[in-house]
Amino acid sequence: MIITKRALPRRLFLRGMGTALSLPLLDAMIPSLTAEAATVAAPSKLRRLGFVYMPMGCDVTRWTPRGNTLDDLSPILAPLAPVRQHVTAITNLELRNAYPGTHATSNAAFLSAVRARLTESSDYYLGTTADQIAAKQIGQDTQLPSLELAMDLLSLVGQCDNGYACVYQNNLSWSSPTTPLPAEAHPRIVFERLFGEGGSAADRRAALKKRASLLDSVTDEITRLKNQLGPGDRAKVAHYLETVREVERRIQKAETDAAGTKLPDLDRPAGVPASYADHARLMFDLQLLALQGDVTRVVTFQLARETSNRTYPEIGVPEAHHPLTHHGNDPEKVARMAKINTFHVSLFAEFLAKLKATPEGNGTLLDHSLYLYGSGMGNPNIHDHANLPILVAGGAAGKMRGGRHIRYEKATPLANLHLTLLDKVGVRLDKFADSTGKLDDLFEPLAI
């Protein structure tokens, strides 16, 4: 690493025709002989916190690792093999405040760990979620304090649990007990929120026709910037811009494919890939870009809504997801549900591999990030909220040692994990929801 005396600002943007493209952390942004140089150069600080929600629980027998390590991965977790050393599985966490056992409360309690008010009206009430508590501290210096993403384009009012307002199922993030934060599933809108101008959705679509690629509009600035950088930084910028270009290309291709479809599809507007896997990978790539460019440091991503009737023909599961979870212990239905669980984990594993392949400082983007992957429901056949399927990934900069399976003898509040993760990104709380303490065995003690 070459550290210069004169540093570029960390919040450096390339500005073009109504666009602002942030850049990843470069050596040239680190001033020499300062405390900041020492902090950023060494992988000693966790900077980002992400949450990925898997709906409707899983088949716990195919999820739970067999030993205390991840050397012998369970069938559902098998796709994690290439990144297992960066992942910890945790068994016997629970959400007591999600009972009486519903899909709405599974989603609502996952990041809040509090009981949702029983109402179908506008007087809904929950609690501030862990991601938003983090965003209020570690997200205030970024363009977006937090980023809320989903895979479902419509808030389906008619498919919600009786007695509970649909906001409980549609929103993972709440900035206050009465303020749910809607998630965005359209990749073009997310891309422009990260790198383009504001305005209504109609304004953004109209603007697409008036300008070419985002990168084309900042070509001159890119050229000038490269003249100020060393070889390592130039390579880092080139790789980052190639990733931006690839995301743009895939969005444009999806729009072209959708525009050529003769039959109308109200559930899939232009710009959304037809394949679930392609759509999910694109949403994960947008997260990577947002984290790498320090556009945001807090992300939530809902892989599907609770009660989702999405089918997965691409993996040989043409049946709707939700009915399969009410399997009545039918072995064939359980196996197909587990196949969906494995598919979701495989997409997360691909994302982790990309974070690992992205250098930052003396480590990687994965080292400086913490991601929680899991569900607010355990066994979906009986709608329980015990023994939740939970993974924690990344975190090497905070001394998290992966490749482990932590089993708690007694049921332990999921809120304990939230309290722990918040603490590791610098958010100090004495208590979160029904927490009883931190999970001290998740991280190694920091050397003093």
Q: Is 207 buried (19+), middle (13-18) or exposed (0-12) by CB count in 10 A?
A: middle
Per residue in 316-373, pLDDT (tens digit) is 999 999 999 999 999 999 999 999 999 999 999 999 999 999 998 889 999 999 999 9
Q: Looking at the domain assignment, is residue 71 inside a domain?
A: yes
User: What sign results for the dihedral spanned by CA atoms 162, 165, 168, 171?
Assistant: positive
Q: How many distinct helices (H) and strands (E) make up the chain?
A: 13, 13
Helical H segments across 315-405, by residue range: 321-325, 331-356
Q: Looking at the domain assignment, is residue 103 inside a domain?
A: yes
Q: Looking at the domain assignment, is residue 212 inside a domain?
A: no
Radius of gyration of the chain (CA): 22
Q: Which residue range is the domain that position 351 belongs to? A: 42-185+272-442
- CATH for 332: 3.40.720.10
* CB-based contact 161:319 (threshold 8 Å): no
Q: C-alpha distances in angstroms, 64 versus 68, 346, 381?
A: 10, 16, 17
Q: Looking at the domain assignment, is residue 132 inside a domain?
A: yes
* CB-based contact 339:316 (threshold 8 Å): yes
Position 265 scores a pLDDT of: 40
Residue for token pair 């697409």: 208
Q: Looking at the domain assignment, is residue 373 inside a domain?
A: yes
Tally of domains in the chain = 1
Round to whole Å and give the CA distance between 32 and 29.
10
Q: Looking at the domain assignment, is residue 80 inside a domain?
A: yes
State both tokens at 9: 């600002």
Q: Which residue has the higher pLDDT, 226 or 382?
A: 382
> Cα 405 to the chain's mean position, in Å?
22
Which residues face 93 on adjacent strands? 412
Per residue in 88-124, pLDDT (tens digit) is 999 999 999 999 989 999 999 999 999 999 999 999 9
Q: Looking at the domain assignment, is residue 24 inside a domain?
A: no
As a whole-number percent, the residues of the chain with pLDDT over 90 amount to 62
Q: What is the DSSP letter of 320?
A: -
Q: Looking at the domain assignment, is residue 287 inside a domain?
A: yes
Residue 40: pLDDT over 80: no
Question: What does pTM read for this prediction?
Answer: 0.81
